[in-house]
């Protein structure tokens, strides 16, 4: 797998370890970061891989309740529309969205700020997915990072 860099979109290996191409080690890594949401979306705008923080932030308790869903199925209306608009732009342009400051609503109803980066996943020159990380700017991590 080619590393994700600041200069190029993410390349995924054909016939990777899962149908969506997300290596299980990557998901395990993001599961270890409680204040960082990670997701992998397919071209149909549905989540195909998410970490535990993403599951919690969506108000669910199990990955199976999130995988296969769209943002409009999980988040409040205007926020979901914004997320999906950003995703469509990444798919259409093949350009990354970097360090986007976003207002979010937590499952308890409180609001907070996240810093989001979305990168296109490119295979054979075609955008086949996107990966996204969103870091909670107000909640310190359990590890103090």
Domain positions in the chain are 10-136
Q: What is the pLDDT of residues 85-111, one digit of tens each?
A: 999 999 999 999 999 999 887 778 888
Residue 68's pLDDT is 95
Q: What is the pLDDT of residues 37-62, one digit of tens each?
A: 999 999 999 999 999 999 999 999 99
Q: Which CATH homologous superfamily contains domain 10-136?
A: PAS domain (3.30.450.20)
Q: What is the pLDDT of residues 112-135, one digit of tens each?
A: 899 999 999 999 999 999 999 999
Residue 104's pLDDT is 82
3-state SS track over the chain: CCCCCCCCCEECCCCCCCCCCCCHHHHHHHHCCCCEEEEEECCCCCEEEECHHHHHHCCCCCHHHCCCCCHHHHCCHHHHHHHHHHHHHHHHHCCCEEEEEEEEECCCCCEEEEEEEEEEEEECCEEEEEEEEEEECCCCCCCCC
Residue 12's pLDDT is 39
């Amino acid at each position: 797998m080619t590393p994700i860099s600041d200069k190029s979109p993410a390349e995924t290996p054909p016939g990777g370890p899962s149908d969506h191409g997300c290596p299980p080690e990557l998901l395990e890594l993001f599961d270890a970061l409680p204040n960082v949401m990670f997701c992998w979306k397919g071209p149909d705008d549905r989540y195909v891989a998410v970490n535990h923080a993403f599951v919690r932030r969506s108000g669910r308790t199990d990955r199976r309740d999130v995988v296969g869903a769209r943002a409009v199925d999980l988040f409040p209306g205007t926020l979901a529309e914004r997320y999906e608009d950003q995703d469509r732009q990444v798919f259409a342009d093949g350009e990354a969205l970097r360090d986007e400051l976003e207002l979010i609503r937590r499952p308890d109803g409180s609001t907070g700020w996240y810093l989001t980066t979305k990168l296109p996943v490119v295979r054979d020159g075609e955008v086949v997915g996107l990966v996204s990380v969103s870091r909670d700017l107000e909640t310190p991590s359990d590890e103090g990072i």
